[in-house]
Amino acid sequence: MDPVFLKVLVGTTLLAASSSVVGAFSYLKGQSLIGDAIAHALLPGVVLAFILGGIRNSSLLIFGALISGLLAHYGIGYIENKTKLKNDTAVSLVLSTFFGFGIMLMSYIQRTGIGQQAGLERFLLGKAAAITMQDIYIFTVLALLLIIGVGLFYKGFQLMTFNEDFAQAIGLPMPLIRCAFTVLTVLAITIGIQTVGVVLMAALLITPSATARVWTNSLPSMLVLTASFAGVAAVLGTYISSALSKMPTGPWVVLVMAFFGFSSLLFAPKRGWFSKQKQANANQRKTIRENVLKLLFQQEEHRGLPIVLSVDEIQRKRVIRLDRLTSALKELKKRLLIIDYGGCYGLTELGRSEGRRVVRLHRLWELYLTERLGMAADHIHPQAETMEHVITPEIEELLVKELGNPEVDPHKSPIPYEED
């Protein structure tokens, strides 16, 4: 394999996997964009360090960037706490003014011609192709630092993210923890930015965490997933950009990450949009089926003998969209809950018991709302319409016990129990 390519591959992957982890905490705090702001705000520090250092002096550049980043972080906090400006204004204000000041300094260098500004032009988009062996060592040290840092402060970061007041109350040194987190964030951005640029750095801190969040509810596995998504995206992005000639690496890594992110948000099981949609649909279909059974049962109860209803008659009694009703009837037939008498439908014994159950739950809940929660009898129907589809057998048992085996509901309709 081409050694240049290998360097880029290893460097980008190492950087992506390690620095994205810091972003996971910011994501959970709802402050993803602070990373973006810090990334932009590094510019003046880098340029000033460049002016002072004369030639491209990496450690001085990193130091300058670090100072600038910490200053920006402090500035955002100050504006947010001391003025009536909100977080978003503080973030975008610091981001743009620091960056603009940096550009002014940069143009000053260009004019006066202090050294050549090889290290600065790639600030925005980065230049992954220029990764050197020395950079790889730096990235390895950074990765180790981040792992050790997160390991050391894990408990503190976790509490800082989820419950800062509690952390303060149990006596954790929150200023120290916040400071450690800020330093780690700024450090990760500072080191990454020269290789991948401002925009990829922002994407690296945000997109993998948002992706991982879709797949898990636990913090440790979210951290691992974040690093994995970022790492895999870095590998794929590097491959794609090298396969297409002249293509920059950074933007491709961002695009692969975005692909992972958007497809996870849409297609992930459980929390993805499609499966949520599917769940909602299944619930809706179940509700319609139960409503049909309830309707048939109520009609039987009303007339005192088994009856059959046509589709038209059902729709006259209850507004259900025709296509939904047709598919509900089909499903009920399949489950042997109703019988089709040539276009008219009647309950089977099984269906009758199911319809009775729904009516019973409805009336029990109405009774509970009036008796125990003191609601007026004319306000309770809508709530019961929802709850009848949700109450489990265990809760039903508790309700019956709580209400002392009631005979009638608030509207004096009998509560139909199963005859044994």
Partner 1 sequence: MNPTLSIALVASFIGVSCALLGVFLVLRKMTMVGDAISHAVLPGIAIAYWLSQSRASLVMFVGAAIVGVGATVIIELLRKKLRVQSDASIGMTFTSLFALGVVLITFWSDSVDLDQECVLYGEIAYVPFNLWIINGTSYGPIALWSSSVLFLVVLVYLIIGYKGLKMTSFNEDYAMVLGISAGLWNLSLMSMVSLATVVSFESVGAILVVALLVAPAASAYLLVQKLKPLLILSAVYGLLGALGGYGLSKLIETSIAGSITTVLGILFLFSLVIQITIKTKKTVHALES
Residues in contact with partner 1 by the rule CB under 8 A: 27, 30-33, 36, 40, 79, 82-89, 91-93, 95-108, 111, 121, 124-125, 199-200, 202-203, 205-207, 209-210, 244, 246-248, 250-252, 254-255, 257-258, 261-262, 265-266, 273
Q: How many angstroms separate the CA atoms of 132 and 192, rounded?
A: 13
Cβ proximity to partner 1: between 93 and 232 the closer is 93
Q: Nearest CA to 127 among 257, 2, 247, 17?
A: 247
CB of 324 to partner 1, least distance (A): 23
CB of 153 to partner 1, least distance (A): 22
What is the β-pairing status of strands 344-347 and 338-340? antiparallel
Cβ proximity to partner 1: between 137 and 273 the closer is 273
CB of 330 to partner 1, least distance (A): 30
Cβ proximity to partner 1: between 69 and 102 the closer is 102
Cβ proximity to partner 1: between 182 and 413 the closer is 182
CB of 32 to partner 1, least distance (A): 4
C-alpha dihedral (281, 382, 317, 407), degrees to nearest 10: 120
- The angle formed by the CA atoms of residues 287, 302 and 347, to the nearest 5 degrees, is 50
Cβ proximity to partner 1: between 262 and 417 the closer is 262
Q: How many angstroms separate the CA atoms of 59 and 64, rounded?
A: 9
CB of 37 to partner 1, least distance (A): 9
Cβ proximity to partner 1: between 124 and 308 the closer is 124
Cβ proximity to partner 1: between 261 and 351 the closer is 261
Cβ proximity to partner 1: between 111 and 334 the closer is 111
CB of 403 to partner 1, least distance (A): 38
CB of 158 to partner 1, least distance (A): 17
Cβ proximity to partner 1: between 157 and 252 the closer is 252
CB of 76 to partner 1, least distance (A): 12
Cβ proximity to partner 1: between 204 and 367 the closer is 204
CB of 241 to partner 1, least distance (A): 9
CB of 48 to partner 1, least distance (A): 13
- The three-state (H, E, C) secondary structure of the chain, written as one string: CCHHHHHHHHHHHHHHHHHHHHHHHHHHHCCHHHHHHHHHHHHHHHHHHHHHHCCCCHHHHHHHHHHHHHHHHHHHHHHHHHCCCCHHHHHHHHHHHHHHHHHHHHHHHHHHCCCCCHHHHCCCCCCHHHCCHHHHHHHHHHHHHHHHHHHHCHHHHHHHHHCHHHHHHCCCCHHHHHHHHHHHHHHHHHHHHHHHHHHHHHHHHHHHHHHHHHHCCCHHHHHHHHHHHHHHHHHHHHHHHHHCCCCCHHHHHHHHHHHHHHHHHHHCCCCCHHHHHHHHHHHHHHHHHHHHHHHHHHHHHHHCCCCCEEHHHHHHHCCCCHHHHHHHHHHHHHCCCEEECCCEEEECHHHHHHHHHHHHHHHHHHHHHHHCCCCCHHHCHHHHHHHCCCCCHHHHHHHHHHCCCCCECCCCCECCCCCC
